[in-house]
Structure formats: C-alpha cells, structure tokens
Amino acid sequence: MADLKRWLMMAEDELTQYSTEARKIEKIRQKIALSVPLAQQRQLKEELLAEFPQNGLSQLIAEQRQTVALPFWGIAGLGLLMGISQMQPLDFVATVAGGAIAISVQRWGWKLQAQKLLLNTLEDLEKRMKNPSD
C-alpha cells in the first residue's frame, strides 16, 4: 500500500506538467519499469483496480472534474456577490459552502485522474511486455 501511495503521488506530480497524456505515461512507465519488478507491478495494478471506484459519479468526476465543480464555483461567487451587494451576511454561507464543495470535487477528481494515469501506465507496460515490437 505504501508503494501505491508513492506511485500515486508521482502520478499527481506528473499531472502538474503541461504535456500530453502519452508523454506523461511514457515518463512514469520508464520509472516503473526500472524500479518495480514484474510481480510487484501486477500487485500494484490489482490494488489500484480494487481501489478505483466504478460508479457513474466517480467516472464522471475522473473525466470532467472541472465541469462538475463549475456550478459550485458559481454558487460561491453568487453568494459572495449577493452578500456584498445586499449586505446579507447569511449569503456568505453559500460562498463558503459552494467553495468547499468545489474544492473537494476538484481534489477528488485530481486523485481519480492520477489513479487513472497510473492504471493506464501499468496497462501500457503490460502490453509492451506481451508485444515488445510496438
């Protein structure tokens, strides 16, 4: 489990880089291929598959986290605007709640995206081992 967390953190770091998905996979693939034995790679993949949520909401957030969080950012902004313009302190609750929900959706999506990137990398490694001519 500690190895999985370490590789997920590496995938999250790779997400911060401005590059294509294929380039991110290539960078992580090289690191995994050099430092993780084949049996441990399979175990890592099994742990990742067991941990990855399969429900529709999780898949939507993994693919479109910013789109899902956008309405909550709007609620936060509208609450701030209404609270300031109408001098209604209760409207600031919408700002705090909307902002908190948007941030949590973004964080969850970021973690899911890192898991998906790591899973794609492990699948790419497996495919290359079966067919090294690619």
Question: DSSP letters along 120-131, please?
Answer: HHHHHHHHHHH-
Question: Helices (H) and strands (E) in the chain — how many of each?
Answer: 5, 0
For residues 120 and 129, the model is more confident at 120
C-alpha span between 40 and 46 (Å, rounded): 10
Give the mean pLDDT of 84-98. Answer: 84
User: Which pLDDT value is given to residue 73?
Assistant: 95
When pLDDT is averaged across residues 35-45 and rounded to a whole number, the result is 85
Which is higher by pLDDT, 3 or 121? 121
Q: pLDDT band at residue 88, thresholds of 50, 70 and 90?
A: confident
Could you give the CA distance from residue 89 to residue 100 in angstroms, rounded to a whole number?
17
Is pLDDT above 90 for 93? no
Question: Across residues 104-112, what is the average pLDDT?
Answer: 94
Tell whether the model's pLDDT for residue 69 goes beyond 90.
Answer: yes
Q: Give dist(CA 127, CA 129) in Å, integer.
A: 5
Amino acid at 51: E
Q: What's residue 7's pLDDT?
A: 86
pLDDT tops 60 at residue 8: yes
- Check residue 2 and give its pLDDT: 66
- Write the CA distances from 119 to 17, 39, 45, 73, 99, integer angstroms: 18, 15, 7, 30, 30
The overall average pLDDT reported for the chain is 87
